[in-house]
């Protein structure tokens, strides 16, 4: 037997026992005849002592950091106790020591606060995984996985595996493809999600399905994206939106309770997509704090009288003018407002400037556009924005989409600066009634003359009251500039996203389950009948054999783990992640393959 106890296990009650431990040497300290070693394994650290005066043989073997050793000895009470670790009251007085394997000096210290940079730690990820913070993340991930399974199992869901080698049916992103050796010139694709399979399972009658499953998307990477990632993928039959929202709100609340010991008893608020865009400027608002967008003038919907009585061109000429009231910031200095102006001018935000209005505690106003607005107008602007004394009103003006996004970014930035994004506060939110379509003026590869694309995916159903609009109108857009006036722009989807603190945890929809409507959808997306049959004939066929009404959703498992772990960096919660360029720097993949392999695959003559 290699070991009788682990390094996290021994307590004062074990004193006088003879035990054997195995582990890695974290630290060696020599003090006269005594050598102290911190021995580490997955479970913790135990101090072991080699006493040269009692057992000189022990020190004949060379030892070093990260050597793997086996130590047998007596558990004794420590004279100076360490209250910081669970085993801190005892130590192991070693009588027998075996080096199981030597180790090179690690390229960075295996400590909570390591001296290793990101790249180095990724290259030696197997060493990084030995560190406590990373280990905690892996344990949390496993805990979340287990509790997801417990909850869904208790609700009668079945975990059913679906294939990884499938047909290329892009769902929005590019597919990763795999050449087939046995069918040369043909390719499998790796699934972007098991979407069509889970719908087929509904047709088969497995009315509650789930899977914690790898998905693959060949997208340009952003900091928090991985080309392969994990979803909690779910589908239910004979349900309406309400059933799904309740079931999965329940799942997340269960995770809060079991993983974080938080009783999340509040009802999760719901917000339409229109309201989210109007009040927060984006579809995944962080509602831990207010600072809602005040639309002074937006596509003609709101028009504050004050605006058109002045000569301030910046506001007058803009398509959209949006303000936010930053609480208790009226005292911002010139330097601080100048810095905010620079912030909105950064290329990532891309605005030309920022106007501000300080609402002083004594009821007076001072703005960056005093030249154009007298005291009374400033006051009515402040009133329109619901500003309170001491608020700093920040105002952006420009084209609709850009200004809305910029104001939303500014809102988040101010919240971060002012400490409103509290890491220990969790606020869930459902956003629903998304538009069914988006209008893409260009295709992914820059071609095309503008067409409708599915905002979620092509299997999402329109809201029942909007089905007629879709069926009774041609998708053709005559005037590209006025696509917003096309009836299709008004169609809302039976789709929903669950948001946590401004992050999308997941989303889904009630699906189309009638062949005709699904065909109409493919047509709306610009697919010919032939193309639709070639790509999705199997699904259209299945809909002819008794498809029940169904719907579902998927959560991003990596992100969920990160957020429950108090982080937004999903890489830290994946054992072997890719870097920002989609590379595995440890294995050094992707990599070239041998000529012989290329030939076998028919990729080279
Ligand atoms: N398959 C969808 C996705 O990956 C989720 C869903 O609609 O269930 O986003």
Q: What are the pLDDT digits (tens) for 371-402?
A: 999 999 999 999 999 999 999 999 999 999 99
Q: Is residue 552 within 6 Å of ligand 1 at its C-beta?
A: yes
Q: Is residue 195 within 6 Å of ligand 1 at its C-beta?
A: yes
For residue 213, the CA-to-ligand 1 centroid distance in Å is 12
Contact predicate 425/265, CB 8 Å: no
Calpha distance 531→45 (Å, rounded): 61
Model pLDDT, residue 310: 81
Instruction: Give, using CA atoms, the residue closest to atom 7 of ligand 1.
Output: 508
Model pLDDT, residue 399: 95
Calpha distance 73→16 (Å, rounded): 9
Burial 378-404 (b: 16+ CB within 10 A, else e): bbebbebbebeebbbbbbbbbeeeebb
Contact predicate 191/215, CB 8 Å: yes
pLDDT tens-digit series, residues 567-592: 989 999 999 999 988 999 999 999 99
Q: Is residue 282 within 6 Å of ligand 1 at its C-beta?
A: no
Q: Is residue 196 within 6 Å of ligand 1 at its C-beta?
A: no
Task: Flag whether pLDDT at 237 surpasses 90.
Answer: yes
Coil, helix or strand at residue 531:
helix
Task: Flag whether pLDDT at 447 surpasses 70.
Answer: no
Calpha distance 59→62 (Å, rounded): 7
Q: What percent of the chain has pLDDT over 70?
A: 98
Query: Across the chain, what does the average pLDDT equal?
Result: 94
- Residue 174: both structure tokens together: 């590019």
Q: Which domains does the chain have, with CATH numbers?
A: 12-101 (2.40.50.140), 145-263+429-556 (3.30.930.10), 289-421 (3.30.1360.30)
pLDDT tens-digit series, residues 501-528: 999 999 999 999 999 999 999 999 999 9
Model pLDDT, residue 423: 86
Q: How many CB atoms lie within 10 A of CB 506?
A: 23
E strand spans, 433-538: 437-440, 451-454, 495-500, 503-510
Rounded mean pLDDT, 450-465: 94
Model pLDDT, residue 225: 84
Contact predicate 490/463, CB 8 Å: no
Q: Is residue 508 within 6 Å of ligand 1 at its C-beta?
A: yes
The number of the ligand 1 atom at minimal distance from the alpha carbon of 192 is 4
**Between the CA of residue 503 and those of 286, 312, 499, 569, what are the distances in Å?**
8, 37, 5, 12
The number of the ligand 1 atom at minimal distance from the alpha carbon of 194 is 1
Determine which helix (DSSP H) or strand (DSSP E) holds 342, and give its type and residue range. Answer: helix 334-345
Q: Which residue, among 83, 80, 100, has the nearest Cα to 39 in the 3D structure? A: 100
Q: Is residue 162 within 6 Å of ligand 1 at its C-beta?
A: no
Task: Flag whether pLDDT at 221 surpasses 90.
Answer: no
7-21, 161-175, 510-524: lowest mean pLDDT where?
161-175
pLDDT tens-digit series, residues 90-144: 999 999 999 999 999 999 999 999 999 999 999 999 999 999 999 999 999 999 9
Rounded mean pLDDT, 28-41: 96
pLDDT tens-digit series, residues 176-189: 999 999 999 999 99
Instruction: Give, using CA atoms, the residue closest to atom 1 of ligand 1.
Output: 195
């Amino acid at each position: 037997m290699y070991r009788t106890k682990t390094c996290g296990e021994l307590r004062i009650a074990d004193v006088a026992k003879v035990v054997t431990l195995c582990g890695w040497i974290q630290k060696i300290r020599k003090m006269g005849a005594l050598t102290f070693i911190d021995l580490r394994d997955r479970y913790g650290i135990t101090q072991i002592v080699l006493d040269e005066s009692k057992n000189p043989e022990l020190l004949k073997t060379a030892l070093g950091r990260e050597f793997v050793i086996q130590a047998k000895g007596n558990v004794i009470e420590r004279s100076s106790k360490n209250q910081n670790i669970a085993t801190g009251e005892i130590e192991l007085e070693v009588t027998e020591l075996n080096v199981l394997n030597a180790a090179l000096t690690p390229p960075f210290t295996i400590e909570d606060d390591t001296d290793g940079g990101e790249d180095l730690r990724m290259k030696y990820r197997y060493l990084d995984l030995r560190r406590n913070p990373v280990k905690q993340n892996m344990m949390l991930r496993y805990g979340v996985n287990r509790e997801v399974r417990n909850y869904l199992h208790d609700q009668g869901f079945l975990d059913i595996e679906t294939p990884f080698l499938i047909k290329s049916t892009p769902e929005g992103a590019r597919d990763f493809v795999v050449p087939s050796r046995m069918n040369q010139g043909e390719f499998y694709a790796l699934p972007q999600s098991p979407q069509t399979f889970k719908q087929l399972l509904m047709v088969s009658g497995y009315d509650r399905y789930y899977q914690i499953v790898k998905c693959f998307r060949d997208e340009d990477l952003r900091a928090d994206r991985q080309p392969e990632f994990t979803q909690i993928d779910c589908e239910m039959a004979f349900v309406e939106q309400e059933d799904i929202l309740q079931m999965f709100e329940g799942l997340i609340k269960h995770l809060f309770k079991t993983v974080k010991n938080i009783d999340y008893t509040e009802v999760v608020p719901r917000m339409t997509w229109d309201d989210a865009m109007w009040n927060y400027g984006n579809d995944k608002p962080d509602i831990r704090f207010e600072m809602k967008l005040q639309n002074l003038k937006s596509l003609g919907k709101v028009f504050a009288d004050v605006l058109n009585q002045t000569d301030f061109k910046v506001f007058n000429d803009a398509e959209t003018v949006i303000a936010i009231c930053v609480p208790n910031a009226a005292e911002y200095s010139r330097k601080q407002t100048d810095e905010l102006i620079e912030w909105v001018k950064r290329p990532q935000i891309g605005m030309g400037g920022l106007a501000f209005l300080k609402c002083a505690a004594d009821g007076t106003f001072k703005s960056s556009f005093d030249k154009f607005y007298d005291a009374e107008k400033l006051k009515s602007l402040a009133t329109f924005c619901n500003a309170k004394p001491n608020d700093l009103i920040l105002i952006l003006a420009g084209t609709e989409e850009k200004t809305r996004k910029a104001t939303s970014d500014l809102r988040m930035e101010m919240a971060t600066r002012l400490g409103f994004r509290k890491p220990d506060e969790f606020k869930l939110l459902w956003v629903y009634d998304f538009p069914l379509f988006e209008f893409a003026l260009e295709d992914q590869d820059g071609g095309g003359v503008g067409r409708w694309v599915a905002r979620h995916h092509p299997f999402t159903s329109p809201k029942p009251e909007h089905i007629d609009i879709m069926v009774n109108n041609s998708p053709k857009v005559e005037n590209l500039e006025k696509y917003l006036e096309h009836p299709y722009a008004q169609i809302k989807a039976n789709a929903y996203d669950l948001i946590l603190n401004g992050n999308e945890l997941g989303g889904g929809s009630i699906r189309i389950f009638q062949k005709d409507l699904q065909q109409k959808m493919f047509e709306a997306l610009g697919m010919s009948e032939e193309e639709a049959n070639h790509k999705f004939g199997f699904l259209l066929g299945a809909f002819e054999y008794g498809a029940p009404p169904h719907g579902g959703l998927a959560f991003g498992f990596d992100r969920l783990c990160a957020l429950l772990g108090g982080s937004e960096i999903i890489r830290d919660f994946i054992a072997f992640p890719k870097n920002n360029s989609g590379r595995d720097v440890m294995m050094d993949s992707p990599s070239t393959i041998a000529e012989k392999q290329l030939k076998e695959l028919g990729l080279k003559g």
